[in-house]
Amino acid sequence: MTEKPSIALRPLPRWIFASRWLQAPLYLGLIAAQAVYVWQFWMELVHLISITSLKATTETEIMLVVLGLIDVVMISNLLVMVIVGGWETFVSRLDLEQHPDQPEWLSHVNAGVLKVKLATAIIGISSIHLLKTFINAANYDEKTLLWQTLIHIAFLLSALAIAWTENLTMRAHSAKAAEH
């Protein structure tokens, strides 16, 4: 028979659990950071329109600016995943089950799934940066190209390791649940 904790200890677990709300300002700060990215996107879009209307612009110049826009969108998507998924996982339920705009991935989000999604998003962002570098490779030295490629490969390997570990954890959890 397990012993119930004494009444004197009950406030401590309650206080520890309530401390999750200390993360709320962090998520609000990320929302402010996302607003900065919205501003950045519009500034880049205005820049794209201005360079294409004022002078003869090469396809490479347009492609680099468009890749910059895609990069901003991907980072913003990463922020949404962290804000919404992190809040739902670590702070409090959002109760979006009946909302028509609930993201599909949110229904099965947990810390492990969130890690895999974040790693995948980081690879996408890194891919855009690497593509921008290779399109503009003449402006970089070989050392920079090599390091950016190696860093991207490290992101890929890290994401694979995170996904593999999460898969093993899910299998072990499923096997344990099947036993009971």
For residue range 32-45, list pLDDT tens digits in order: 999 999 999 999 99
- Confidence (pLDDT) at 151: 94
Percent of the chain with pLDDT over 90: 38
Residue 6 has pLDDT above 80, yes or no: no
Residue 20 has pLDDT above 80, yes or no: yes
* Distance between CA atoms of residues 119 and 67, nearest Å: 20
pLDDT in tens, 158-179: 999 988 998 888 888 777 777 7
Which residue would you say has higher pLDDT here, 105 or 52?
Answer: 52
Average pLDDT over the chain, rounded to an integer: 86
Place of tokens 């799934």: 113
Distance of CA 159 to the CA centre of its chain: 12
Note the pTM of the prediction, 2 decimals: 0.74
Closest to 80 in 3D by CA, of 68, 94, 97 = 94
* Distance between CA atoms of residues 58 and 123, nearest Å: 28
DSSP string, the chain: -PPPPPGGGTHHHHHHHHGGGGGHHHHHHHHHHHHHHHHHHHHHHHHHHHHHHHS---HHHHHHHHHHHHHHHHHHHHHHIIIIIHIIIII-----TT-TT--GGGGG--HHHHHHHHHHHHHHHHHHHHHHHHHTGGGS-HHHHHHHHHHHHHHHHHHHHHHHHHHHHHHHHHHHHHH-
Residue 112 has pLDDT above 70, yes or no: yes
pLDDT band at residue 26 under the 50/70/90 scheme = very high
Residue 9 has pLDDT above 70, yes or no: no
